[in-house]
Amino acid sequence: MSRQQLPIVNSESIYIDFQEHICEEFNERILFSAPFGAGKSTFLKNFFDQHEEYITLKLYPVNYSIAPNQDVFELIKYDLLYELLSNFPNEIQLQKEEFSTLLISQMFILHKMKIDFPMKIMLKAAGLVSGSGIPDDDSIDSVIEQFKAFNNYRGAVEESEYDTLNRYIKSSRKRLGHAYERDDISELIINMLDRVKKAKSKGNENKNFETVLLIDDLDRLDPEHVFRLFNVFSAHYDEVNETNKFGFDKIIFVCDVNNIQHMFNHRYGLNVEFGGYIDKFYSSEVFKFDIVRYLKDSILELVKARYDLFKFFSDGLPQTISDRFDFDRNEGFYNIYKYILFKMIDFQLIRVRNFQRFKHYTIPDRRIEAGLTTISAYYYHFLVLSINLEGFFPRPLDLLNVYEVLYKTFISDYEPDINKQNIDRSIDRIVEYSLPFIIDEKRIFTRKFDFESNKDYMLDYLNEKGEPLEITYQLTLNYDYEYVAVKLIKCVLRGKQAPALRPNPFWFLYNAYKNCINKKYLN
């Protein structure tokens, strides 16, 4: 089974929140904030894929970080033209005279920055769009030489006599990188956007189409580049007319506003007001993407996208084995899996990128040398659980570190549950899953089976606070596969009778998993 793309998840509450935010009247500039790796880009892509009324163009400022401010804006124009020509050729219907202007102007931009390779790509792309065919390299080089001659010729032409004021205004509007710049290419971009909008509206008069400029991955830049780019975009906002550059209906800046504030404070000091700086980049309020809620709402769909239960068993497995781990047949195991993932999500220990790393949910085919015997991983819920959680991380050690964070942050209570208030059965189940890898392996992984079934055995164990616990358990032999299963009876503080109110399940997970790593049960 080939690896699937992550699904478009209809997390209704978050989609509704963002839909309401983007539709707010006069909300022309939006700051979309979430931590790095939280899935901002994935969410926005899914959102705009489902809302065709938004004509979206996307910029990646990481490509601009090495260019001077003036050239940054020229690169923005280049990318906008490329996006328009690539995504909306039919709507634009580029005319011959515009095609000539486009080529010359873009050659000028790229020539200034000495970007030969992208220039040739652009020429070839424009050739495809115009229907004139793809020019060969010799033709492109010839056009470039003609451009050089044109540029020299233009400089030799005498200036016409203009009114002083008119000349001043026009020169300001045509000055590259100027805040009031409105050169031919800027006009062409505005015109193209308008054409796309009109073409989309034709036959869809009931829909209100809007153009959106999405500026993504700002939090991937070094601090100095972040503020330089913010300043470039800020300089090209018309505060008098309250319009965005090129007439975009919406501009969305995608970043982590908390990181931006940390960078700002480090750069300018704590006494400089951050709010006064950042509020020019959004019209109403910062939209804070709730990655915790999004992932929790999406968890089943995200895991199901990687669901390949019999990946390693083309002939299947006995139903008594497969049913244990089949989400559709055993809700109990899914609830444990979900319980652990939810805790990881709560502390942002896994994000959308971890789900992208996760290759498959499956029954593993590993054979493990344990104690005096060899076992299949699928004999024990703990091993299947661990292997299917390892896939979210680069290394097993990363999962161990996550368990450590979880047990240190979990609020446990080992006082006796006299009134039987503990209704969280997931905790007891996780402790039970962990016990085979905490109890002495000679008792569990053996061929002697010299224990009494359904007899209470006792394990003395310290909890995460160093307090002594008494864990009562029973052993049973699975005769079909000849392995020992463990059943938790109760977990109490030493000297107490009633079970502990809320043991720390992640303390047991952490120690069981650590033992498995040390004994090389898990690679």
pLDDT tens for 436-486 read 999 999 889 987 878 888 899 999 999 999 999 999 999 999 878 889 999
Question: Quick one: average pLDDT of 305-327?
Answer: 92
Q: pLDDT band for 102, please (50, 70, 90 cuts).
A: low
- DSSP assignment of 257-306 equals HHHHHHHHHHHH-TTS-HHHHHGGG-SS--EE--HHHHHHHHHHHHHHTT
pTM above 0.85, yes or no: no
Q: pLDDT band for 488, please (50, 70, 90 cuts).
A: very high
pLDDT score recorded for residue 9:
55
Percent over 90 (pLDDT), the chain: 44
Dist. CA 73–CA 443, nearest whole Å: 71
Question: Quick one: average pLDDT of 247-255?
Answer: 92
Dist. CA 224–CA 230, nearest whole Å: 10
Strand pairing class (210-215; 250-255): parallel
pLDDT score recorded for residue 487:
96
Dist. CA 259–CA 497, nearest whole Å: 50
Dist. CA 165–CA 175, nearest whole Å: 15
- DSSP assignment of 189-236 equals HHHHHHHHHHHHHTT-TTS--EEEEEE--GGGS-HHHHHHHHHHHHHT
Which one has a higher pLDDT value, 102 or 160? Answer: 102
pLDDT score recorded for residue 78:
84
pLDDT score recorded for residue 22:
96
Q: So where are the chain's domains?
A: 13-53+208-289, 68-195, 297-518
Express the helix, strand and coil content of the chain in percent, nearest 5 each: 50, 15, 35
- 315-349 exposure pattern, b = at least 16 Cβ within 10 A, e = fewer: eebeeebbebbbbeeeeebbebbbbbbebbbeeeb
- Report the range of poorest mean pLDDT among 71-85, 282-296, 506-520: 71-85
Question: Quick one: average pLDDT of 92-120?
Answer: 55
pLDDT over 50 at 117, yes or no? no
Tens digit of pLDDT for each residue in 130-181? Answer: 455 555 556 556 555 655 554 554 444 444 434 444 554 455 455 555 545 5
- Report the range of poorest mean pLDDT among 115-124, 354-363, 411-420: 115-124
Determine the straight-line distance between the first and last CA of the chain, rounded to whole angstroms. 24
Tens digit of pLDDT for each residue in 13-64? Answer: 788 899 999 999 889 999 999 988 788 888 899 899 999 999 999 998 877 7
pLDDT score recorded for residue 23:
94
pLDDT score recorded for residue 211:
95
What mean pLDDT, rounded, does the chain reach?
A: 82
pLDDT score recorded for residue 425:
87
Q: pLDDT band for 494, please (50, 70, 90 cuts).
A: very high
Which one has a higher pLDDT value, 237 or 354? Answer: 354
Output the six-digit token pair for 445. Answer: 């992984």
pLDDT score recorded for residue 460:
97
pLDDT score recorded for residue 379:
95
Q: pLDDT band for 242, please (50, 70, 90 cuts).
A: low
Burial class of residue 295, CB neighbours in 10 A (0-12, 13-18, 19+) = buried
Tens digit of pLDDT for each residue in 376-398? Answer: 999 999 999 999 999 999 999 99
Which one has a higher pLDDT value, 237 or 134? Answer: 237
pLDDT score recorded for residue 314:
87
pLDDT score recorded for residue 153:
44
pLDDT score recorded for residue 6:
61
pLDDT score recorded for residue 288:
92
pLDDT score recorded for residue 69:
60
Question: Quick one: average pLDDT of 58-82?
Answer: 78
pLDDT over 80 at 312, yes or no? yes
pLDDT over 50 at 310, yes or no? yes
Output the six-digit token pair for 263. Answer: 């960078």
Question: Quick one: average pLDDT of 336-361?
Answer: 93
CA 202 to chain centre: 35
pLDDT score recorded for residue 111:
47
Question: Quick one: average pLDDT of 346-351?
Answer: 91
One-letter amino acid identity for 479?
Answer: Y
pLDDT score recorded for residue 157:
40
pLDDT over 50 at 126, yes or no? yes
Which one has a higher pLDDT value, 207 or 99? Answer: 207
Dist. CA 515–CA 523, nearest whole Å: 12
